[in-house]
Structure 1
Amino acid sequence: MPEKITAKTTWADWSGRMYVKRTWRCGKCIEVEKYQTFRYKGKMTVRGPQSNPTPEAMAKVNERNSYKNLRRLLNTNFGKGDLHCVLTYAPDKRATSPQEAKKDIQKFCRNVKQKCKRRGSNFKYVAVAEYGKRSMHFHVVIHSGLKLQELGDMWPHGRIHATELDGSGDYDRLASYLIKQTNKTYNDPERRVFARRYVTSRNLEQPECKIEKVKADSWRETPSAPKGFYVLQDTIVQDVSEITGYPYQYYRCLALGGGTPLKTKDYAGRRLYQRRNLPR
């Protein structure tokens, strides 16, 4: 009888078959996804149980995809010395609508870009909007070469709070934090500022994805890293997809000497979530 796929299925059970390997090189970080598909599977393979995704489940999937894409963009384009800025409004200068807030952040980015152009420096950013209990504010990850005071002069609506990115090259927690800040705002049509969860400058380098078809008997239950990298052990995930019913494996590798991610506080100065609680 054909064997069934369960959450306990090991990669050794797939010997002699094929799988798809997707690899992203994002700055100092490498991400790897391995998965079985209908096309690349053994003739005797029976797909595991599938779920019929509800709108809520699909919303969670979309949120995880946004988080992954944002993490890859951050790892590819930003590094030590770049800033995570929170642009706030003074009580008497608050934007009266999402449309007005959008114009404020667009003007800020235009002014920073113009100043960077005059200085001969490159300006890159990723921005998300969050509507708090009383007022709108923005989180912006910035590469500009400008001092904080110079950035503050171009935001006349309130204050800018900034945290310098570390040199680890893995900004997974920052990406998770930013996506979580957008949930209420993005999912509320009356408060939504951007059509997407985050907006970026056009000059961001896009992570390249290498896709390979590999023999399954070459899979390792404990993955190894390429030369010059090490596997982040707490990122290894091996399971069966509830959507497709096929096994998958995911992990990240970090460059040796790239530093270690911040472990005591997040980018808002609060305690970090444990990695096991972060979306994958």
Structure 2
Amino acid sequence: MIVADRYMVLAPKMKQDGQTAEVELAELIRNNFKPGDVHMIITYRRDQRPTKEECRRELEKFLRKVRKAYESRGQELKYIAVTRNKSRAPHHHIVINTESGIGVKELNELWDKGRTRFIYLDDTGQYGHLAHYLARE
């Protein structure tokens, strides 16, 4: 069984071969997240698109804010984050637990650099497609 560390960030390029990475990532999601948790996509305003290094810093800054909100409720934050910045529109994918009562409204308010989009994890436990999408380059 694969268990997420308390704070987990995946590098954009997985170290294993693609299929192994997808299988392990799907298991990681299945073992650490539940229906109702979210796959969050955060983007940047067109006129404020960051460099690769700025992307990393902005994600870290956002996750610090989220972590602080969780800690203020006595809850543990778990997440898997992947940054896509090869295109002209850099963005982040974050699978995040929402058990603490922190909802998408508050997560949306914490991201002030662009748009947010939320997709709830379903109750099937079949996260292969999500893992495939996150593990791809």
TM-score using structure 1 length: 0.42
Partner of 1:135: 89
Find out whether 1:74 has 2:29 as its counterpart.
yes
Q: Map Cα deviations across residues 210-267 of structure 1 (whole Å, 9 max, x no partner).
A: xxxxxxxxxxxxxxxxxxxxxxxxxxxxxxxxxxxxxxxxxxxxxxxxxxxxxxxxxx
Q: Structure 1 residue 122: deviation in Å?
A: 2.2
What is the identity, as a one-letter code, of the residue corresponding to 2:82?
V
Which has the larger helix fraction?
A: 2
In structure 2, stretches of 5+ residues that fail to align are: 4-13
- Following the alignment from structure 1 to structure 2, what is the Cα–Cα distance between the partners of residues 102 and 25? 25
Give the Cα–Cα distance (whole angstroms) in 2 for the partners of residues 101 and 168 of structure 1.
33
1:169 is paired with a residue whose SS is: coil
Look up the match of 1:65: 20
Q: Tell me what 1:158 maps to.
A: 114
Give 1:146's aligned amino acid.
I
Task: Kindly indicate whether residue 97 of structure 2 is the aligned counterpart of residue 109 of structure 1.
Answer: no
Which secondary structure does the structure 2 equivalent of 1:129 belong to? strand
- In our comparison, the structure showing a higher alpha carbon Rg is 1
Residue 134 of structure 1 aligns to a residue whose secondary structure is: coil
Distance in 2 (CA, whole Å) between partners of 1:139 and 1:60 is 18
SS in 2 for 1:126: strand
Q: Quick one: structure 1 residues 100 and 170, their matched pair in 2 at CA, closer, same or farther if it must change by over 3 Å? A: same
Letter in 2 for 1:107: K
Distance 1:174 1:140, change over 3 A: same
TM-score, normalised by the number of residues in structure 2: 0.82
Q: How many residues align?
A: 125
The CA distance in 2 between the partners of 1:173 and 1:153, in whole Å, is 28
* Match of residue 47 from structure 2: 92
Kindly state the Cα deviation for residue 73 of structure 1 after the two structures are TM-superposed: 0.6
1:61, CA displacement in angstroms?
5.9
CA deviation after TM superposition for structure 1 residue 25, in Å: 8.3
What is the distance in 1 between the residues matched to 2:124 and 2:86?
Answer: 30
Q: Give the counterpart letter for 1:141 in structure 2.
A: V
Letter of the structure 2 residue corresponding to residue 125 of structure 1:
Y
1:135 Cα offset (Å): 1.7
Q: Deviation string for 1:76-100 (max 9, x for gaps)?
A: 00111100010011112211x1110
Query: Structure 1 vs Structure 2: percent identity of aligned residues?
Result: 34
Question: What's the CA shift for 1:60?
Answer: 10
Gaps of 5+ in 1: 1-23, 27-58, 184-280
For residues 32 and 87 of structure 2, the distance between their equivalents in structure 1, rounded to whole angstroms, comes to 32
